[in-house]
């Protein structure tokens, strides 16, 4: 009895799927453009974005220059977004703004083009080319629409993109330090600090510059050590002057004392 019920249930599911697919194919093969557009919009409204996308794709060439083209184009772009095809979504949102620059939806589509790029960008540990593109697109949107109601959200995306880029750059600097490439680590941390001076981790980056300089001085040839310890002392003073409340001050003072003692030792040896 249970086996029979399972078979009936399976048959019912197959029939429903076959009927659904057959119904869609009938719509897709229809030569009635208005009928296909109506059904595409119904699919869109019912969140059946895959079917809507297929029908809109077929209608795009034949609907061009008609009064329904703008509304269809707008929904077509959104089908890609809802299907998480963010590359195509960004492309069609951007194209919408170019085809319909005075549309009431033009600003929204420019914003959504940038959002799509942001969604497509990978986590910070991977290549950040697309994060840069998303950041540039969102910044362009903010510059073009400084009074937009989406300004707060746009700035949040900008901040998140910058945070990802900062993490990527800081991780590279950390890697140099961990593999004892202290000169490269110094340069890399200086670059992070220069690019993100307002970062909550700015004092940490300055401390790591100091630490990298001390490590580099220690392994340098004797003729270069005094100069490099002096550079480390300058880095310590910059940390103390710029970030007097930093939690890294105590550790930095130990490095400062070590650098100062080493300079005195080097000078005494040359007397």
Question: Residue 233, SS3?
Answer: helix
**Mean pLDDT within 112-134:** 87
- Percent of the chain at pLDDT > 70 equals 90
Domains by residue range for the chain, with CATH: 180-271 (1.25.40.10)
Residue 18 has pLDDT above 70, yes or no: no
Query: What is the predicted pLDDT for the residue at 93?
Result: 98
Res 22: pLDDT: 59
Say if residue 43's pLDDT is above 60: yes
Average pLDDT over residues 15-30: 65
pLDDT digits (tens, 9 = 90+) for 216-261: 999 999 889 999 999 999 999 999 999 999 999 999 999 999 999 9
Residue range 66-70: mean pLDDT, rounded: 94
DSSP letters of 28-43?
HT---HHHHHHHHHHH
> Tens digit of pLDDT for each residue in 152-200?
999 999 999 999 999 999 999 999 999 999 999 999 999 999 999 999 9
Local confidence band at 270 (pLDDT 50, 70, 90 cut-offs)? low
- pLDDT of amino acid 157: 95
- pLDDT, residue 17, reads 44
Alpha helices in 83-146 (DSSP H): 86-99, 106-120, 129-144
Whether 82 has a pLDDT exceeding 60, the answer reads yes
Mean pLDDT of 127-141: 91
pLDDT confidence of residue 15: 42
pLDDT, residue 12, reads: 47
Give the 3-state secondary structure percentages of the chain, helix then strand then coil, rounded to 5: 80, 0, 20
- Residue 268 CB coordination number (10 Å): 8
**pLDDT value of residue 92:** 97
The pLDDT confidence band at residue 44, using thresholds 50, 70 and 90, is very high
- In this prediction the pTM is 0.79
pLDDT above 80 for 68: yes
Computed over every residue of the chain, the mean pLDDT equals: 90
DSSP state of 64: T
pLDDT score of 125: 67
Helical pair 129-144 and 151-178, crossing angle rounded to 10 deg: 150
Cβ neighbour number for residue 96 with a 10 Å cutoff: 24
């Amino acid at each position: 009895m249970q086996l029979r019920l399972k078979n009936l249930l399976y048959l019912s599911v197959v029939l429903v799927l076959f009927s659904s697919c057959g119904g869609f194919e009938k719509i897709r093969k229809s030569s009635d453009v208005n009928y296909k557009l109506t059904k595409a919009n119904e699919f869109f409204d019912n969140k059946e974005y895959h079917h809507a996308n297929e029908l809109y794709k077929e209608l795009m060439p034949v609907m061009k220059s008609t009064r329904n083209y703008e509304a269809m184009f707008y929904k077509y772009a959104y089908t890609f977004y809802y299907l998480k095809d963010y590359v195509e979504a960004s492309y069609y949102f951007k194209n919408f703004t170019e085809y319909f620059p005075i549309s009431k939806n033009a600003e929204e589509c420019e914003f959504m083009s940038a959002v799509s790029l942001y969604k497509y960008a990978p986590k910070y540990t991977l290549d950040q080319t697309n994060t840069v593109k998303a950041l540039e697109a969102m910044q362009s949107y903010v510059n073009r629409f400084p009074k937009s109601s989406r300004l707060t959200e746009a700035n949040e995306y900008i901040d998140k993109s910058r945070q990802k880029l900062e993490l990527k750059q800081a991780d590279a600097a950390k890697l140099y330090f961990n593999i004892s490439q202290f000169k490269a680590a110094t340069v890399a941390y200086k670059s992070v600090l220069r690019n993100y001076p307002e970062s909550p981790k700015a004092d940490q980056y300055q401390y790591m510059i100091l630490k990298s300089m001390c490590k580099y001085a220690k392994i340098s040839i004797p003729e270069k050590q005094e100069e490099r310890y002096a550079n480390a002392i300058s880095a310590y003073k910059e940390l103390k002057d710029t970030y007097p409340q930093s939690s890294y001050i105590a550790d930095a003072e130990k490095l400062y004392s070590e650098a100062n003692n080493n300079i005195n030792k080097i000078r005494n040896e040359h007397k």
